[in-house]
Amino acid sequence: MTDDWRITLEELHCVDADEDGGDGDEPMFAVIGFRSRFGISGSTRVWRLPVDGDKWPTGVRSHLFYPIDPAVGAVDFPEVRRMRPGTIDAEVFGVVIVAAERDGSPPSIAAHLMDQAVTVLHGELVRLLENRHLTIFVPQEAQEEVESTIASIAAAVDPPLRSKIAIWAASGADPDDQLGMQLLVFTNFRGLAIPWVRPLAHGSSMLLDFRGRSVHYRLRVRLDRTREEVPTFAPVTFEPQCAPLAYRVIPLPEAVEMVRRGSGADLQFEIELLDGATSRTGFGSQPRHHPGQYHAPSVFVTGGTYGEAISMSAVECRDGRVTTARWKAQILLGRTAVGDPGPHTLHVLINDVDLWYAPLSQNGTVWQGGDGQPRSVQVTSRRRPTLH
């Protein structure tokens, strides 16, 4: 499920003006928006709002408040994913706000330098987040890894972005009008112990201070949820193969044991394949046990492993309806050469194209894994409730 969020620079409070005795100050803020997801190729986006001096207040004087035009102060983040309980799908988004008292510096210079800053920030987010595949899939245990990665963003982008600010300030009449920058970061990962990373709280308000040698501006910034996706339950129009709500989630090993005993008729396997921002969901039923040896590709499973297999009839579902895609799915049950349990592997064919995922590891009530590419899989096993 996703929600839309907006960061808005609402109001400028001039605590101390630089030119109270003359025509007043001419503050200007450059705003860069960014978002990225852990381990998801192509998920990083960085962009800037227009650098338009005409839309910022002029004649600004001490102790007064000034509204900010949304055209230069509102940044939208559509379809931010909610983290499902027991899963890791961490996304980071936010803004970089750069401030100056413009004193004759043309906006075109600021725009050019902010374009360079966008490139720098994009490269660092790709390196730190997009190319970072979490090694732990349990949220409580992954917290330290997520925290350290997000904390490194500020350290990585601060020096190069501040160098752009210095060039901007030096292009005007008074190089001392450099006021610095603020990094505002939000994430859907809850419970991080980083003071400057904010939780997603609708209607929350923040005050950001920008100070120069003789000037002090304070921005009030607000975070709002502009669209909230409401959970929906399977309508009566869902085809039976695509409706998981009549089943109870059970551990995958329990489901496997039921298939071994020949009692898998009441089982259902939901398989979600994630590839970047897209996902495909298949539902498997009528699982069958195959006791022979089944070797997964050596790139994923070490040599000498062997085991049983669970195959199933599978259909792909979208919006509660079966699609025309042809699915074949099986779970290979790993055994080492001495008979000990080994890694489980999911093998899926869609329209006769092989997709391998290994190993599968337990994450709460689901099983997850990756195929060595920026793709991942989630398997949920369910059993039809027994009527007494």
Predicted TM-score of the model (pTM)? 0.56
Q: Which amino acid is at 314?
A: A
Cα gap 50→32, rounded to integer Å: 9
CB 128 within 8 A of CB 156: yes
pLDDT of 287 reads 92
Residues with Cβ within 8 Å of residue 140, at least 6 apart in sequence: none
Triad 52, 108, 30: Cα angle to 5°: 50
pLDDT of 183 reads 82
Closest residue by Cα to residue 189 from 38, 24, 335 = 38
CB 119 within 8 A of CB 102: no
Per-residue pLDDT of the chain (388 residues; tens, 9 = 90+): 788 999 999 999 989 887 766 777 888 888 999 998 877 788 899 999 988 777 888 888 888 899 999 999 999 999 888 765 545 567 889 998 888 776 656 667 777 778 888 888 888 888 877 776 554 344 454 456 556 665 566 565 565 666 655 555 555 445 445 577 788 888 877 655 555 677 788 888 899 998 877 788 999 999 999 988 776 554 556 777 777 655 678 888 888 889 988 888 888 898 888 775 567 888 988 899 888 665 554 444 444 455 688 889 889 988 778 899 889 888 887 766 566 666 677 888 888 887 777 678 776 677 887 765 656 788 888 887 654 4
Considering Cα of 333, then 336, then 340, then 341, what sign does the dihedral take?
Answer: negative
CB 283 within 8 A of CB 269: yes
Cα gap 356→367, rounded to integer Å: 15
**E-state strands within 17-131:** 27-37, 45-48, 64-67, 74-81, 91-101
Cα gap 185→149, rounded to integer Å: 13
CB 329 within 8 A of CB 247: no
Crossing angle, helix 139-170 and helix 107-125, to 10 degrees? 150
DSSP class of residue 131? Answer: T
Cα gap 190→187, rounded to integer Å: 7
Bridge partners, 283 (sequence order): 270, 315
CB 345 within 8 A of CB 357: yes
DSSP class of residue 82? Answer: P
pLDDT of 173 reads 41
Q: How big is the chain, counted in residues?
A: 388
Phi, psi of 176 (to 5 degrees): -75, 0
